[in-house]
Structure 1
Amino acid sequence: MKHSSRLTYAYKDSIDSPEGLADSIAECLGCPVTIEDANHRIVSYSKHETNVDKARTATIMRRKVPEHVINGLWKHGIMSKLFEGDQPQVVEKIEDIGLGNRLAISVRKNNEILGFIWAQTNGLAVNSDHLAEMKEASQLVSHHLLRQQAKKKKTEENRKEFFWQLLTGALQNQSEIKRLGKKFHMNLQGQLCVAVFEFTEEMSQAVERHAYYLTETLHQSRIVSRIFDDQQLILLVRTDNQEDANEMNQAFIREFTQKMKERLHFEDLKGAFGLIYDSPLMISDSYKQALKVLELKEQFPDGLQNADNYQDLGVYQFINELAALQKRENYKNDALLHIKAYDDRNNSMLLETLKVFLDKNSNVHQAAAHMHIHTNTLNYRLKRIKEIGNIDFKDTNQKTMLYLDLMIYESEQEGL
């Protein structure tokens, strides 16, 4: 082909200059070109263009594709096609994200996505020559990105080892942590916490790649480091403002799980994060707390359905410790024993009614609505509960103990 030798020659002359390669591809195609890595960060872009669209301008200014543009490309099915195949894709104008006409292709090594090439084709009549040029450009860019990967691989392994030291608390020297953080370009200033996502199936390479991709492209939180461990994705998250940190982390967890469901059809993906600290010495505590949230969400799916944060656990934080203490002391709540015995003899639901009533903060109307019974029926059951268990619902101490003991009883029943 007439342009093939030009591109190949340009590549040889710009082995250490991805900018020169972008310019050469743009010259052959006759339109502006952007080369991105797999997470939509700019590798290079062609210079001296005019009439560029808003999406390209914003991408160049930020050195990364804006999140709303990435979301729009997914919603219009463009990213799915680029992930699934290695052929150039003609992309029509998408007004709502400021994107003009494009010719796009994924850059690959076998089935692994290394990056993307985007050519702004406004006014260009795309033909078979352009498609062939994009295919050749993809092969040339892959060589550059593979070299970049090789340089980063050893650094990444050392960074993972450092992250594990932080997660396990094996490194407690503040000055050494600061030195290694600087060495591996990990910003450990500000508010830090650990977030953990737990997958219910084996983590294939495709799932890992997409999970990594999402952590790089969602902008609510700043990911300092990440690691995959069996069926978990562990993230170190940093924010500058403690007041906004919890809200930002919750938004990140919910959007991450939602997008994994939308794009990879994961229906049972759980996420959680530990407390937020201003010292990297506390990262191991935050990690343990995130794991505990996941453990308790599994143990109490109804009570902790919407819990993302260690702070959200409330009394559930201590429920297993209380259960172990009660077991050691052979403690039993007499009121609950009497009510349970009554239920067994009469096939009634007084114990369940008591739990719902306490769950609803002693609100008769909410409890009755939850159980789909009339308030008069609920009031009758509550009267029987008072009599059988000798319970005073005006005694806050007694109600609190009943509630905790009911939670422990439920967890023991589920464990049988």
Structure 2
Amino acid sequence: MAGLIDVRALIERVGPTLLRTVRLPDTTGCVGDVVIAEPDVPASVAEGDLVLGLAVTDSAQAVSLARECGRQAAAAVLLKPPLSTDDEVLATAEDHRLAVVEVSRGTAWAQLVWLIRAALAGSGVEDVEDRDPTRMGSAGLGDLFRLADAVAEVVDAPVTIEDAHSQVLAYSARQDLTDPARVSTIMGRKQPDDVLAKFRAHGTFRKLTKGGSAIFVPAQQDGTLPRLIMPIRMGGELLGSMWAVVTGEVSEERATAFADTAPLVALQLLRWRALADAERQRSAGLVRLLLEGGEGWRAAANELALPSTTHRVIAIDVRSAGNSAEGRRLAMWEWITRGIGPRPLVAEIGGVLYIVVPDRTGTGGWPALREALEGHGVQPHPLIAAGTAAGVAELAQSRTQADEVLGLLHTGRVHDRIAVYEELWHLLVLNRIAGASADAGVGALGPVPALREHDRAQGTEYLATLHAWLRHPGDPRTASAELRVHPNTFRYRMKRLTRIAPVDLDDPDVRSALLVQLLAERWAHHG
């Protein structure tokens, strides 16, 4: 990092709340970088460095660090009181024309690294880096990446910042110390299930959920390196966690500095969540325009950068899964936006979640989403319905189809985890016939009303018997098996019902009319 600012200007830019000049030579060179140096590692300090005495615990170490900083022509040494005003430290600094800066006692070292680096870069802490454009932009994750870098310097280890669902939000540039678990976590943007299982077995997540202090997890037999983990909380709520891959037990000073960063990370996570919520609501409003099919659909599609390929609309209804539907709906929304491809398009309409997903193979496509939804372990299962593939201009039609299939799921006649429009065409035909027949009043015609009344008054099952006979013409054994009665009992019932309501069952038109009536009757009762 090229230094373009001297110590005096840097202190003014970071602010007197955090830094105070204790000793400043008449002239100081430009600051080259900010480093955290161990007192006994001379090579860690270079000319122009701003040296943070994080690991300095007593006067002797502070004097040694000041001496080494002076020899290497460092720009300044930063210490917390009382070491910042120690007479021997100041005398040594004067001998070597070294600036001494006091760090406010309550300042987190990682916060200081973060702010100083921003000042050296000539930018504010709100600026966004471009290390990972797919995770930046409106979600405001640039500050989290920069903060992860600062925490990594403090703890002297690679760091990830994760949300409460083990989704990786940011990671430090330094990832030199690693293992397969960390590699797969970074690559997949979340901790894989097998890695999560290892830490759960160790009780790590139980401690994260209940505790508020740093957790050390020793190395495991499979080669997984030790971890230092810090829960991130605000107002009692677990917002996420920081994970550092370490070589072994961490010094008390560095572990404390790691833990001290938690409030700062919590503020950034709250800021990120607020920005993400705003972005989600903006996107949801545009998706609603697409699905409602009004005049604004074209502008919405352009703003969402929706490709002109075919998509499906998926409807997810958690209202049938018991109480607290709002919480489960939000959890499902977050799960979808975390794990299903780039920029999933989700909106809520009338208590139902709708997802617009490309009808293609690969990450983020309909087959991948279907597989993920089928494997989603939420209990009780939500109702999930898929419309057919459609162009962008016909997404409202795909949504209508998803709604129709969702209505079919509500009847209880479909037992699959996911119902797809074109796969259930036969049931949709019957459902439409039932609805049209009920509207036309066909159930009041012919012998059906008499048989219905007899069943109601006498507890008989003549309508069910007639329906089985029509479904299996000329096959009384199969028909009786469907009703779970003896074939002779079935034959007797058929003779009786034709006496109660005389009907010509040899006429094919009569049989067709009766079947339509009985289908409408059964589907109407099921709905």
TM-score if structure 1 supplies the norm length?
0.74
**Is the 2:144–2:170 Cα contact (8 Å) retained in structure 1?**
yes
Q: Which residue of 2 aligns with 1:11?
A: 114
- Does residue 261 of structure 2 align to residue 137 of structure 1? yes
Secondary structure class of the residue paired with 1:308: strand
CA distance in 2, matches of 1:340, 1:367: 20
* Aligned residue runs from structure 1 range 16-415, under 5 A: 16=127, 18-37=144-163, 40-50=167-177, 52-66=178-192, 69=195, 82=208, 86-91=212-217, 100-110=225-235, 114-121=239-246, 123-125=247-249, 132-152=256-276, 154-171=278-295, 174=298, 176-182=299-305, 189-199=309-319, 200-204=322-326, 206-219=327-340, 224-229=344-349, 231-241=351-361, 248-256=368-376, 259-261=377-379, 267=380, 269-277=382-390, 279-298=391-410, 300-301=411-412, 303-306=413-416, 308-318=419-429, 321-323=432-434, 325-327=436-438, 329-332=440-443, 334-344=446-456, 346-355=458-467, 371-378=483-490, 380-381=492-493, 390=503, 402-413=514-525
Contact 1:34 1:45 in 2 (8 A): yes
- Residue deviations 1:241-295, cap 9 Å, x none? 39x9765454343333xx221xxxxx36322222222x12222222222222222
Taking structure 1 as reference, are residues 246 and 63 closer, same or farther at Cα in structure 2, changes over 3 Å only? closer
Count of aligned pairs between the two proteins: 394
1:264 alignment partner in structure 2: none
Query: 1:86·1:106 contact (CA, 8 Å) conserved in 2?
Result: yes
3-state secondary structure, aligned to 2:337: helix
| RMSD value, Cα | 4.3
Aligned-pair identity (%): 21
State the match for 2:70 in structure 1.
none
CA distance in 1, matches of 2:261, 2:159: 11
Q: What per-residue deviation string (whole Å, max 9, x for no partner) do you get for residues 27-70 of structure 1?
A: 433432112345614422341513x2212112323444446545
Residues of 2 paired with 1:71 and 1:403: CA distance? 54
- Structure 1 residues 320-360: Cα deviation after superposition (integer angstroms, max 9, x where no partner): 65455435544235353454355356532232344467779
Alpha-carbon distance between aligned partners in 1 of 2:313 and 2:387, rounded to the nearest angstrom: 6
State the one-letter code of the partner of 1:280.
Answer: V
Residues 246/209 of structure 1: CA separation in 2 closer, same or farther (3 Å cut): closer
Structure 2: distance between partners of 1:120 and 1:362: 74
Larger Rg: 2
CA contact (8 A) 1:193 1:238 kept: no
Code of the residue aligned with 2:174 in structure 1: it is K
Per the TM alignment, residue 215 of structure 1 is displaced from its structure 2 partner at its CA by 1.4
> Distance between the aligned counterparts of 1:168 and 1:81, measured in 2?
46
Structure 1: state its 5+ residue gaps: 262-266
C-alpha separation between the residues in 1 aligned to 2:469 and 2:225?
58
Question: Are the equivalent residues in 1 in contact too, given 2:185–2:191 (CA < 8 A)?
Answer: yes
Cα pair distance change 1:55/1:386, threshold 3 Å = farther
Contact 2:437 2:520 survives alignment (8 Å): no
Asked if the contact 2:442/2:517 (under 8 Å) is kept, the reply is no
Which residues of structure 2 form unaligned runs of 5+?
Answer: 1-52, 56-106, 118-124, 128-142
**Structure 2 counterpart of 1:201, one-letter code:** N
TM-score, normalised by the number of residues in structure 2: 0.60
Deviations, residues 201-247 of structure 1 (Å, cap 9, x unaligned): 3445x54553233213445x6662223456433322234239x9765
The one-letter amino acid of 1:274's match is G
Taking a change above 3 Å as real, the CA distance of residues 327 and 210 of structure 1, as seen in their structure-2 partners, is closer
Greater share of helix? 1
For the residues of structure 1 that align with 2:292 and 2:396, how far apart are their CA atoms? 5
The more displaced of 146-155 and 40-49 is 146-155
Asked whether the 8 Å contact 1:7–1:25 carries over to 2, the reply is: yes
* Cα separation, 1, equivalents of 2:206 and 2:475: 49
Structure 1 contact 38–213 (Cα < 8 Å) conserved: no
Seen in structure 2, the aligned counterparts of structure 1 residues 150 and 216 have a Cα distance that, compared at 3 Å, is closer
- Distance in 2 between the 1:393 and 1:245 partners? 52
Counterpart CA distance in 1 for 2:251 and 2:493 is: 77
Q: Tell me which amino acid in the other structure corresponds to 1:260.
A: V
Q: 1:394 to 1:317 in 2, by over 3 A?
A: same
What are the superposed Cα offsets for residues 357-413 of structure 1, whole Å, 9 maximum, x if unpaired? 777999867765564444554455466667867475996x76665444323213444
**Range with bigger deviation, 41-50 or 144-153:** 144-153
Distance 2:150 2:283 in 1: 35
Give secondary structure in 2 for the equivalent of 1:194: strand
Does the CA contact (< 8 Å) of 2:315 and 2:402 recur in 1?
yes
Q: Which moved further from structure 2: 354-363 or 193-202?
A: 354-363
Structure having greater relative contact order (Cα 8 Å, sep ≥ 6): 1
Greater Cα offset, 133-142 or 348-357: 348-357
Q: CA deviation at 1:161?
A: 1.7
> Would the alpha carbon gap of residues 408 and 76 (structure 1) be closer, same or farther in structure 2, given more than 3 Å must change?
farther
